[in-house]
Every structure is written in structure tokens, then in C-alpha cells.
Amino acid sequence: MAAADEAPSASTIAAVAGKVTVVTGGTSGLGRGIVELFARAGSRVVFGARRTELGERLASSLRGDGHDVTFVPTDVRRTADCAALISAAVDRHGRLDVLINNAGTEGSPPIQPSHLATEEHWDDILDTNLKGAFFCCRSALGVMAEQHSGVVLNIASINAIEGPARMAAYSASKAGLVQLSRTLAVEYVLEGVRVNAVLIGGVATEQADRTKAAIVEYVTGEPADDTAPKRPNPLVYQPVEAARVLALLCADDAQLNGATIAVDHAMSAGSMASTMIYMTSAGIWQKPY
């Protein structure tokens, strides 16, 4: 597993050095991994998140190491905050090269039968995952079109195409994000702007841990055992490992546009289904829900 403070590779530096990058949801998990990796690779990073204290602490730490990092308190559910985040980057650096819409939530609770879901639950997830991404794009795309250059990466999920039970709002929001990316790619292709969706799966984050714990409790009826030793999982990325892939997608010669790229250790290609088939055939698989 890669250490969070491991020096960026030459290819990562070549892809993002000197670029102005905006990241949403940058205080933890994948978002933090993106902020740290891109900053250490020489990108000028402006990131937003709701947790102000964590954001300011991270920005201060990276600036102390000589990196150009700015934190802007941001709740992407508020369109004014989306606009302010993009404006902060442009005002400080005079341009915008990369937007990574990473902010997301699986809601609370992260899993529940759809007939019990409330309007508030639906709105919180869709407003964060889809509406927030669109309004950050809305503010960024005009700047990028004027420059005739720019890259937008919308962080979706394998849920966008797999749709596991009891996560209807989350899966719908991520599927919407994929189609939003495709539509914007078509709309801005002649403006020199590339827009892609990334299907993330199996990244070690606090959010993923909360969802796993909720699934365990739902299936077994007992709270997950936090004291149990954690075994290495070959299907789990550390945030910095997934962030490296995102950096390469930002390279000037990457050329991908309107694509949906899976960063999930082949989960969406069938690695998990393959495991289920083999376990079922061996007679050791139990109904998961």
C-alpha cells in the first residue's frame, strides 16, 4: 500500500504541475488524497469542504511544506458556495485548469429500504452528489471555455451501474453524474474542455467504513466489530492510489472525453460477481440480504 506522503511519480508531476486545480470534499478520504497528491506534484490547489477546521488545518500543513494550497469553506448544496469556490480559484490564480467534483454523501443511514426513505434523505444525497457537481461545473465551464482548455472529473461510483439494494438515492445520484458528464462533454468539446466520469469503487475512506458497518448490522442484526483485526484486501485502494489515476486523466495529452472510467479493481467488470459465483458453486455463500 502506498503511503499518503510518498513522493509523487514523474508521470503525476508531468500531468498536474503548475495547473490550477479545484477539489470539492477535500478534507477526508479520496478528496484529501487528491488534495495532498496534487499539491505535492506542484499543482496549485484550491479545495472546499464543509468542515472548516479540518480544511484550514490541512491547507496550513501543506503550505508549511511549501505547497500552494487554499481552503474555501464550501457546502456544495448551496449554489452560492459553488460559485464562490470557483471564483476564489480564478481570483487567486487567474485561470482554472482542473475541477474535480468529489464531494459526496451516502446519506444517513447509508442503507435503508426505499419505502422508508424520506424526502430529506433523498434531497440531501441528490443535492450533494448531483446538484452540487452541476453548479460547480456551471461556474467552472464558462472560465474553461474562455481559456479554450480545462478538465472536469466527476467522481461517480460503481453504484452508478451496479445499483445495490437499499441505496436508491445514492445510486441514482451517481448514475445521474455519469450522464451529466457525458452531456457536458458533448456540449463543450468544441471549447477545448474535457469532461469525464470516474467510477470509484473500493477506496479506503471513512464513508466506506460507515457503509460497510451499516451493511454488516443490517445483514447480521449485530453492530460491526470495530476491534476485529483488518486483513489486507486486494480490492481496496488507498486514497492516494486512486488519486494517481485521476492525476493522469488530467494530463494535456490524455485526450479522454465523455468517458466513464472505472477505478475499482475490476469490480464493475465482474470481480465481485465472480467471487459470488465461485462461493455459491462451492456451497459456502449465504444470501446477503
Cα dist. 32→58, 59, 207, 259 in Å?
8, 10, 13, 24
Q: Are 264 and 158 in contact (CB under 8 A)?
A: yes
Known catalytic residue at 170? yes
Mean pLDDT, residues 45-74 taken together: 98
Q: What pLDDT was estimated at residue 82? A: 98
Taking the CB of residue 69, how many other CB atoms lie within 10 A of it?
A: 25
For residue range 133-172, what is the model confidence (pLDDT) as tens digits? 999 999 999 999 999 999 999 999 999 998 788 999 999 9
For residue range 40-50, what is the model confidence (pLDDT) as tens digits? 999 999 999 99
Beta sheet of 150-157, edge-to-edge order: 69-73, 44-49, 20-24, 98-101, 150-157, 193-200, 260-263
Distance CA 214, CA 208 (A): 10
Cα dist. 230→2, 198, 204, 227 in Å?
17, 27, 12, 9
For residue range 216-231, what is the model confidence (pLDDT) as tens digits? 666 666 776 676 666 6
Q: What pLDDT was estimated at residue 278? A: 72
Dihedral sign of CA atoms 191, 252, 246, 57 in order:
negative
Please identify which of the residues 170, 188, 218, 289 carries the catalytic annotation.
170
**Domains delineated in the chain:** 10-281 (3.40.50.720)
Q: How far is CA 285 from the centre of its chain?
A: 31
Q: What pLDDT was estimated at residue 207? A: 72
- For the chain, give the percent of residues with pLDDT over 90: 73
Q: Is the pLDDT of residue 1 over 50?
A: no
Q: What pLDDT was estimated at residue 204? A: 74
Q: Are 126 and 173 in contact (CB under 8 A)?
A: yes
Phi and psi (nearest 5°) for 45? -105, 130
Query: 235: closest CA among 213, 276, 263, 277?
Result: 263
CB contact set of 238 (below 8 Å; sequence gap of 6+): 1, 2, 4, 33, 203, 204
Confidence tier at 52 by pLDDT (50, 70, 90): very high
Give pTM, 2 decimals.
0.90
